Each structure stands twice: as structure tokens, then as C-alpha cells.
Structure 1
């Protein structure tokens, strides 16, 4: 049984103009110790997926269909007290901006001790000892001194390391990292990602890395999901997707990387923009931007097609997979 299993997940936001689906029919699994990347443009539903896994959606957002099973338990149906025992304890989340995570009026030590004591029967001295050990694990210099400092006294890179240390405090089974390096400069980004990778490997922690950076995904994750307009459109082994993307949208993301452009010429880009959730096109939601669009793309939602070790929601891929078989059947009939 997978550690985490998401089945046909649907998330809606109730607006005055009517319900808007932010996630549609999202399904995937996560094994213990596995590293999974979630990529896509802003507005694709990546962060909503992270929040919905631990049922941290704010009203009017809610899970309207499907389930999120953690070790066989549906997190969406748990009582608040039981969910709190898992959220932050067995499953922790690292957010984009550490200053939104850390309390500005409490010292780092107080915040880490409170986190430990909220989930464990533990003395303050033992909690401080564990907190100090975690800060040392994330390579914070003068770790003991940092326990008595406030978030504003630390650099952005140090604050993000502290957030990672808090995420690891209770030995979670899963860490959901939502754009953990967005607010950091490039050199610090590489250090933080190397640190997270090493810590996950050492502690056998599963990682869900939400990002728009395909370069980071290719180096850190083993499998990846590509999202567009609230739906997964391609998923499979990271190396296979990076080396041979099947969906036109994934191909567009790959071609938009700076290293794919000819020096001195404009960067490649996907024409158009992602549709608003209130106005998702009929059929394949990518069809207004797709250079390979066919008539069926504007009428019918593409089902998932197996391509190698990947699943791809694209009519063009489905035709290429089924075409030879159909020709064979027709020749046999003749």
C-alpha cells in the first residue's frame, strides 16, 4: 500500500458567481522515501494540491470529491483532533515565504519548543535539545545562539533553513515543500535544495516538491506531475519526462528553458496564457494554446494514455499509441 494515495481529488471554491473547480480529477501515489515533483505555471493548482493534501484549505475552498488516503486513512474525513495529530507531525509543510511561517514576536527556540510540545509529551529542556540538534542538521552556524534570536535578525537563507528544521522536528513521513527557494538568491537556492535532498535521503522522508523550476525537479525528484488548469496532464519518472516529454504543454515548458534557446535570440515561449478557472475551455483545457490542436481536442476531455512509463492526457498521444493497433485490426478484418 502506498504511503499516500490521492484518488480523483476535486477542490472547489464557492464564489458568488458559482462554484469554481481549482482541482479536477487529480490522482497519484507516493511511496515512503520517494521524491515527487509537481510542476506547472502559476495558477495551475500546484499549491492548492499541497494545501488540500493536509486539508488546510481556507473557506470558501473545500474538497468536493475524491479522497486523500494517508496509510489507508482518508484525511478529508478525519475529525479535527485526529487530523491535527497528522498535520505538522506525520506530514509537514514548508511554505514559500519563511516570514509568513515564523512568528515575528517569538524567538526561534520558543517556536520550535512549542511545535514539539504540541505533539509530544516532552519537557522544555528535552525539546530544546531536539531543536538544537535539528538546527545543527540544517547547518545553521552558531545554532545555540539562534535559538534566542527573532526571525528578523536572520538572513533569508537562514530563515528558510530554520523552517526546514521545524519541518523535520517531529520526524515526519512526508514533507510538502511549496516553492521553498523562491525568495532566495540563486546560490542559496542550490544550497537549500541540496540540504533538503540529503535530509530526506538520510531520514527516509518522502518529499512532494512544488515548483515551476524544471531544473530543480530534474535534479531532486524521481517522479513528477505536470499540472495545467487544475488537472494533471502528464505524470511519470522524472528522467523519462525531461528527456522525452509527450504532452505539448510539457514540451513547451522544456523548450522555454533558457538553455534551449539559441544564444542572441529571443527565448522560446508558450503562446497565450492559462485560462481563468471560471472559464476553462471545453475538451482539453490546453487546446487554445496548442500548436497540434485537433477537432476532438475542443470537444472531448482527453483520457490518460500509457506512453512508456508515463501517463499522458492528450488526444494526439492517444492516436499515436492506438493508431498502429487499429491498423492491425483493420488488416485482420480484411
Structure 2
């Protein structure tokens, strides 16, 4: 049994103009100690998927269907009191902006001690000792001094290290990191990701990394999900997807990396933009932007426009694409004919 199982997850937002489906039939698993990346453009549903795990979706959002099981427990059926015992204790989150997470009027030490005492029956001295040990683990210089400082006295990179230290305070089974290096410069980003990877491996902590940076995903994760318009469209081993992407959207994301462009030429990009969730195209949501939807005679593939693609197995990956399904079927028929 996997540590985390997400089955047919459906998340909606009740708006005046009607319900909007932010996530549609999302399925994935996470093993203990495994590192999973979730990638896609802004609006793809990455953060909603992460917040859904602990029902942190603010109203008018709500989980409309599906199941989330953690270590055999159904989180979607758990009471708020039961979820509070899981949040921060067994599943920790690292958010994009440390200044939105840290309390500006409390010292770093006070915040870490409060977190520990909320979940464990220990003295302030014991809590402070654990907090100091975690700051040392994330390689904070002068950790004793940092415990008595306030968030505004620290640099962005140091604040993010402290957020990682807080996430590790209670020895969680899973860390969910939502764009953890967005606000940092490239050098600090690399340091933070290397630190997070090392700590997860040392403590055997599973990691869910939410990001739009395929370069980071390729270096840190073992498996990945590619999301588009609230749906997973490709998933499988990270190395296989990076080396041989099947879905046209995944191919577009990889081709848009700066290193894929010819020096001196314009960067590659996927034409168009992510559709609004309350006005999704029919059939495959990606078809208006897809170079493979239109055939050589200029007409569109009827299946792409009319039918939502089912998942097919290609190698070790699952892909939701009519074109890939057709290619696999053609290959199967040729093999049978030989």
C-alpha cells in the first residue's frame, strides 16, 4: 500500500456564474521516501492539488468527489480535529513566500517552539533544543543567534531555510513544497533545492514538489505529473518523460527551456495561453494550442475536438492524448502483421 493515494479527485469552486472544476479526475500515488514533481503552467491546478491533500482550500473551493488516503486513513472523510493532527505533524508544507508563512511579530525561536508544543508534550527547553538542532541541519550560520531574531532581520534565502527547518521539526512523512524557490535568485535556488533533496534523503521523507521549472524537477524528483487545465495529462518516471516526452504539451514545455533555443534566436514557446476553467474547450483542453491537432490538409482531428482523451500506456508512462493512442495502435497493428 502506498503512503499516499489520490483517487479520482474532483475540486470545484462555487462561483456566482456556477461551479468551476479546478481539478478533474486526478489520480496519483506516493511511496514512502519517494520524490514526486507536479509541473505545468500557472493555472494548471498544481497548487490546488497540493492544498487539497490537507483540505486547505479556501471557500468557495471544496472537494466535490474522489478520495485521498494517507497511510490507510481517508483524509477526505476526516474531521477538522483529526486533520489538525496530520497537518504539520505528518504532512508538512513549504509555501512560496516565507514572509507569508512566518509571523513577523514573533522570533524564529518562539514560532518553532510553538509548533513543537502544539503537537508534542515537551518542555520549552526541549523544544528549543530540537529547534536549534533543525537550524543546524539546514546549515543556518550562528543558529543560536537566529533563534532570537525576527523574520525581517533575515535574508530571503535564510528565511526559506528556516521554513524548511520548521517543516522538518516534527519528523513528517511527507513534505509538500509549493514553488519553494520562486522569490530567490538562481544561486540561492540551487542551494535550497540541494539542501531539501539532501534532507529528504537523510530522513527518508517523501517530497511533493510543485513547480513550473522542469530543470529543477529533472534534478530532484523520481516521478512526475504534468498538469493542464486541472487534469493530469502525463505521468511516469521523471527521466523517461524528460528524455522522451509523449504529450504535445509536455514536448512544448521542454522545448520552451532556454537551453533548447538556438543562440541568438527567439525562445521557443507554446502558442496561446491556458484556457479559463469556466470556459474550457471541448474534447482535449489543449487542442486549440496543439500543433498536432490539425492535419496536413488544415482540418482538425475530430477526436481531439470532440472527445476527452483517455489514458494510454506508453513505456512506463501514462498519457492522455488521442495522437499518442493512434500511434500506439498503429504500432501494435504493424507488429501483429509481421
* TM-score interval for Structure 1 and Structure 2 normalised by the shorter chain: over 0.9
Q: What is the Cα deviation at residue 26 of structure 1?
A: 0.2
Q: Deviations over 1:268-315 (max 9, x none)?
A: 000000100000111100000001012210000000010000000000
Aligned to 1:203: 203
SS at 1:162 equivalent: helix
Q: What is the Cα deviation at residue 324 of structure 1?
A: 3.4
1:312 aligns with 2:337: no
Aligned to 1:298: 305
1:19-168 matches, within 5 Å, as 19-168=19-168
SS at 2:166 equivalent: helix
Q: Deviations over 1:181-228 (max 9, x none)?
A: 000011000000000000000000000000000000000000000000
Looking at structure 1, the residues matched to 128 and 154 of structure 2 have their Cα atoms a distance apart, in angstroms, of: 19
Looking at structure 2, the residues matched to 35 and 121 of structure 1 have their Cα atoms a distance apart, in angstroms, of: 31
Cα distance, 1:218–1:328 mapped onto 2, change above 3 Å: closer
Looking at structure 2, the residues matched to 95 and 17 of structure 1 have their Cα atoms a distance apart, in angstroms, of: 30
Looking at structure 2, the residues matched to 26 and 40 of structure 1 have their Cα atoms a distance apart, in angstroms, of: 14
Q: Deviations over 1:45-99 (max 9, x none)?
A: 0000000011111111010010110011111110111111001100000000000
Q: What is the Cα deviation at residue 326 of structure 1?
A: 4.2
SS at 1:19 equivalent: strand
RMSD, aligned α-carbons: 1.1
Structure 1 segments (4+ residues) deviating >4 Å:
326-329
Looking at structure 2, the residues matched to 250 and 325 of structure 1 have their Cα atoms a distance apart, in angstroms, of: 24
Looking at structure 2, the residues matched to 59 and 221 of structure 1 have their Cα atoms a distance apart, in angstroms, of: 31
Looking at structure 2, the residues matched to 192 and 324 of structure 1 have their Cα atoms a distance apart, in angstroms, of: 44
1:218-233 matches, within 5 Å, as 218-233=218-233
Tell me the TM-score normalised to structure 1 length: 0.98
Q: What is the Cα deviation at residue 243 of structure 1?
A: 0.3
SS at 2:283 equivalent: coil
Aligned to 2:185: 185
1:240-259 matches, within 5 Å, as 240-259=240-259
Q: Deviations over 1:157-176 (max 9, x none)?
A: 00000000000000000000
SS at 2:278 equivalent: helix
Q: What is the Cα deviation at residue 328 of structure 1?
A: 6.6
